Amino acid sequence: MDDKTKTLTAAEAGYHVSDYLISAKIPDENLFAIVSLYKGSCAALRFSDILMLSALDRLRTDSPVFQRFVKLGFIVNFDERAALEAMARGACAFPSKVSLTICPTMGCNFDCPYCFENHKSGKMSPSVQDDIAALAERMLDVSGTKILHVTWFGGEPLLVPDVIESLSDRLITLAEKKSAAYSADIITNGYLLDRKIADMLDRVKVDHYQITLDGIGAAHDTTRHLAGGGPTFERITGNLRSVKIRGHINIRHNVHSGNMAEIKKLRALIAEIAKESGNDLEYYPTPVRDSLTAEKRGKQVDLLCGSAELDVELIRKIGDLSPARGHYCGANNLWNIGIDDQGRLNKCWEDSDKPEHSFGTAAKWNPGDPLNTADHPDLLTVYLNTSGALDDPECRKCVWLPFCCGGCPHQRLFRKRECLSFKADPEAFALKAYEARKTSHQ
């Protein structure tokens, strides 16, 4: 950099304030929390800094404050929306890994009123397992990636541990043959997670668990009961206390207006069980979402709304603040595939039990020729094309676009655009982000 360049102002050097900043005055402090939703950064600025930010004409490129603003992404020298669009286009095909969500059964031993699935009994056959192993090999070969990840889902996957074990063995062997890294996680209700099953899951490299508790005792049993009735709380928490589970366990709390009061107590209970058992448990609350299936079943719980939803959603989402990546979820990417117990392929977890949303089969689909080998190419391309919400005029002008990427593609396609519940309250988000960063640096 020569002396002439050094003395340019930020504006002369082509910098402008990011389009994706939100801010809030920090109560009782003479500071403002500023968040870049594009860069995923957050900092507290004095009023004098804010003035400099709004007066780039005078800000010199060789000043420390300029360097700080650039590092935080508060000022940029490029078109952020064009960058988001480019990332969104690339995201639908980028092969960072092959990720398979496998449902070895669609049956479930629970009957939760808010569930988005209609459970059917059934078990994946050996020939469907053959098809999945062959599909995984084609996907690794065509993508060229060296990472194979599996999520065990259902139904309740632990109803058929023998399928998990046999198919895992085949996929682990395949990964070794291809010199690919293999990892796995599982979404389970935790009812059948005894010592024998936990040891098997550890052997087949499952190292992340998601288990749901909806409160303490009866508060949990009201929504998460056995099919046909019967409590489950004592059995699940008994497993968490007594079984050595090797891996990280996220305890999800599906919050609705009937169990919102349980948040504090449940968080404390999880901390106590973690301490007592040595298991690696982490609590997180998330609002229950409306779904067509639950609506049709007529047993939907009372959803959160207004400030209650905003509070719970903020706690859940604050951890998502990170550099923009241009798409919302795996459904937007060609290399993320869901597979039901019959070997039907889908793009989204909510489509797992909906054959009418399946785009093809594990037996036939080939990512090397993804449209000609799909039985319903449209059901594949609609998800790939919702990446980044490029066609939605509302999203294109929205400050949340880098963070939200247009929301859940499934909701967008089959219901309506699902905006962030705190869309109209950026100050609340900025303050929470500031508090979270402060705590993590303490």
Q: Which of 180, 407, 421, 434 binds ligand SF4 (CB under 6 A)?
A: 407
**Closest CB to ligand SF4 among 66 and 400?**
400
Q: Which of 155, 343, 406, 426 binds ligand SF4 (CB under 6 A)?
A: 406
**Closest CB to ligand SF4 among 225 and 297?**
297
Cα–chain-centroid distance for residue 363?
28
Residues in the chain: 442
349 is a site residue for ligand SF4 (CB under 6 A)? yes
**Closest CB to ligand SF4 among 135 and 331?**
331
- Whether the Cβ atoms of residue 309 and residue 316 lie closer than 8 Å to each other: no
CB of 60 vs ligand SF4, minimal distance in Å: 35
- Whether the Cβ atoms of residue 237 and residue 189 lie closer than 8 Å to each other: no
395 is a site residue for ligand SF4 (CB under 6 A)? yes
410 is a site residue for ligand SF4 (CB under 6 A)? yes
420 is a site residue for ligand SF4 (CB under 6 A)? yes
CB of 350 vs ligand SF4, minimal distance in Å: 4
Cα–Cα nearest to 388, from 346, 433, 331, 335: 331
Q: Which of 138, 208, 252, 423 binds ligand SF4 (CB under 6 A)?
A: 423
389 is a site residue for ligand SF4 (CB under 6 A)? yes
Stretch that binds ligand SF4, among 68-76, 182-190, 218-226, 400-408 (CB under 6 A): 400-408
Between the alpha carbon of residue 431 and those of residues 23, 31, 46, 279, 437, the distances in Å are 8, 11, 15, 32, 10
Cα–Cα nearest to 335, from 167, 201, 75, 143: 143
**Closest CB to ligand SF4 among 349 and 434?**
349
Beta strands across the sheet bearing 98-102: 280-287, 248-255, 206-212, 181-187, 147-152, 98-102, 336-339, 344-346, 360-361
Strands 206-212 and 181-187: parallel
CB of 347 vs ligand SF4, minimal distance in Å: 7
Task: Find the helix or strand (DSSP H, E) in which 338 lies.
Answer: strand 336-339
Which residues have C-beta within 8 Å of that of residue 369, sequence separation ≥ 6? none
Q: Output 372-375 pairs: Cβ under 8 A, ≥24 positions apart.
A: none
309 is a site residue for ligand SF4 (CB under 6 A)? no
**Closest CB to ligand SF4 among 269 and 404?**
404
> Residue for token digits 């009735």?
229
State how far the Cα of 222 lies from the Cα of 215, in Å rounded to an integer: 9
State how far the Cα of 42 lies from the Cα of 39, in Å rounded to an integer: 9
Q: Which of 99, 350, 352, 374 binds ligand SF4 (CB under 6 A)?
A: 350
Site for ligand SF4 in 163-222 (CB under 6 A): none
Q: Which of 417, 427, 435, 436 binds ligand SF4 (CB under 6 A)?
A: 417
Site for ligand SF4 in 25-84 (CB under 6 A): none
107 is a site residue for ligand SF4 (CB under 6 A)? no
Give the CA angle between residues 169, 171, 177 to the nearest 5°: 105
**Closest CB to ligand SF4 among 137 and 350?**
350
Site for ligand SF4 in 317-336 (CB under 6 A): 329, 331
CB of 351 vs ligand SF4, minimal distance in Å: 7
CB of 7 vs ligand SF4, minimal distance in Å: 39
**Closest CB to ligand SF4 among 283 and 422?**
422
Please state the φ and ψ torsions of residue 289, each to the nearest 5 degrees: -105, 150
Q: Which of 419, 428, 435, 436 binds ligand SF4 (CB under 6 A)?
A: 419
> Residue 110 gets which letter from DSSP?
B
CB of 383 vs ligand SF4, minimal distance in Å: 7
Please, where are the H alpha helices in 21-150?
47-54, 64-72, 80-91, 126-143
100 is a site residue for ligand SF4 (CB under 6 A)? no
**Closest CB to ligand SF4 among 279 and 346?**
346
Task: Find the helix or strand (DSSP H, E) in which 195 lies.
Answer: helix 195-203
Stretch that binds ligand SF4, among 151-159, 172-180, 235-243, 398-406 (CB under 6 A): 398-406
What the block records as the tokens of 312 is 């719970």
Q: Contact positions toward ligand SF4, by CB under 6 A?
A: 329, 331, 348-350, 389, 394-395, 398, 400-401, 404, 406-410, 417, 419-420, 423
